[in-house]
Amino acid sequence: MDLVPNNVGSAAIALKPPHPHAAVLMADLLLGPDGQKVLEKFYYGSATKSRPFKRWRPEQGLTTEKYEKEIDHWEKLLKQVGRE
């Protein structure tokens, strides 16, 4: 399985899952209030809960062009690290 960069409060769905509608429903659950409670209960953290530290969002304030360049950079780096 390839590494997939992702941001705070997001969910990823595998390409061509065996049950695509169930995968979308699962992502919807995880991002909703009930799913966030479950994640918090099992110590996975919650993107919606306030934290005592400042969150760093590296993409904040970037133009679309710069954001796409950053994505390309990180994807190349993750593929390189994943092969080692």
Helix (H) or strand (E) holding 48: none
Is 13 exposed, middle or buried (CB count within 10 Å of its CB: 0-12, 13-18, 19+)?
A: exposed
**Is the pTM here over 0.85, yes or no?**
no
Give 27-83 pLDDT, tens digit per residue.
999 888 899 889 889 888 776 777 777 777 777 788 889 988 988 998 888 888 877
CA–CA separation, 64 vs 57, rounded Å? 15
Other CB atoms closer than 10 Å to residue 36's CB: what's the count?
A: 19
Give 55-64 pLDDT, tens digit per residue.
777 777 888 8
Domain ranges of the chain: 20-83
In b/e form, how buried is each residue of 72-84, taking b as 16+ CB within 10 angstroms? eeeeeeeeeeeee
